[in-house]
Structure 1
């Protein structure tokens, strides 16, 4: 994939994430609050901004973070797709899955830029990272039991993804990595806001497992984010 495709893919992810905020569970549960409009920067300016960012040498930690976050995007896609297949009254899960699919393509930009082999398995539910593999099995089994459990498992993964993206930002000074991670972090925070609101419709208050309670409270209290114009 050429880097010139980056911003178009990223905007699609933002649109899917915004749609996720617009559709909660149907029926007896309240709809979630509609997000603010999605920003649509001029593609040429945004492409130029990304392409102007320097390509720097990667250390082992930065490479490991790239590979982990690529698999986490696949995890989000696989898990939410499978859970939606069992709980079709939760379109939020489908929207999160669609956004994750697009995020996987965004991550491909970095893999290509740094000539890193793609660790991603083409088979649903299969991961190179054994921690993710075990988590997927556990989350899927738990999430299939009820709609509220499905939302909780999606929220728990999003919680972890926010923590991992934040940590990856703190471990690099490569501006191109920070650029992508910040965009994906904003999308993950939007997912968390939508999931929290949907869980509230079931009378469930999500308790963060990876980010701090203060960070979670700040996310939930803040409005939906848009991708900034660079």
Structure 2
């Protein structure tokens, strides 16, 4: 993935492309940071496994930020810290909810992955740059896999979840579809 980024022209970005990249960098950080906290509390395997994937997602977006000469909104921030006040509030709310019970934690995992998928799809419609579309595509595949993992736990624990960012049909179809292979972030 990084080789594809390096080979792509570093032409000017539109405002929507810049905003999309900056949002996705912090949104992937939210996922990683929330999952680290919830794994510490509940020890549920997907949180431990997926937090590493979220770091790889953050790294892929960082490679795009560097390629296009954009500042890193996550630089120097500790676990659970965000520059964007709206994203800070989202993180705080998700952690608070996820620490209440293991069922609430699974609910949070589903919500984060659903939000990631929706935001990646929206950001992809706002660019025609192959490098950005390639990274967004890989991240969306990863998020669909993560959604599937949390959905299996939802089924095991009997968690009631109503999709908030995807239609119920797309959510179910995604959750019940087969695992997808993702390329290595490097």
Structure-2-length-normalised TM-score: 0.92
| 1:117 alignment counterpart | 71
Q: CA deviation at 1:228?
A: 6.1
How far, CA to CA, are the matches of 1:215 and 1:166 in structure 2? 13
Q: CA deviation at 1:52?
A: 3.8
More divergent stretch after superposition (125-134 vs 169-178) = 125-134
How far, CA to CA, are the matches of 1:152 and 1:167 in structure 2? 23
Q: CA deviation at 1:53?
A: 3.4
Kindly indicate whether residue 118 of structure 2 is the aligned counterpart of residue 163 of structure 1: yes
Long gaps (5+) in structure 1: 1-5, 8-46
User: Are the aligned partners of 2:106 and 2:159 in contact in 1 as well (CA < 8 Å)?
Assistant: no
User: Are the aligned partners of 1:55 and 1:174 in contact in 2 as well (CA < 8 Å)?
Assistant: no
Higher relative contact order (CA 8 A, sep 6+): 1
Residues 146-190 of structure 1, C-alpha deviations (whole Å, 9 max, x = no match): 111111111111111110000000111111100100000000000
CA RMSD of aligned residues (A): 1.6
How far, CA to CA, are the matches of 2:180 and 2:71 in structure 1? 32
Kindly indicate whether residue 59 of structure 2 is the aligned counterpart of residue 105 of structure 1: yes
How far, CA to CA, are the matches of 1:51 and 1:109 in structure 2? 9
How far, CA to CA, are the matches of 1:66 and 1:185 in structure 2? 14
Q: CA deviation at 1:209?
A: 0.5
Match of 1:96 among 41, 45, 50: 50
Larger of the two Rg values belongs to structure: 1
Q: CA deviation at 1:51?
A: 4.0
User: Are the aligned partners of 2:17 and 2:127 in contact in 1 as well (CA < 8 Å)?
Assistant: yes
| 1:218 alignment counterpart | 173
Q: Secondary structure at the match of 1:226?
A: coil
How many residue pairs get aligned? The number is 183
Q: Secondary structure at the match of 2:48?
A: helix
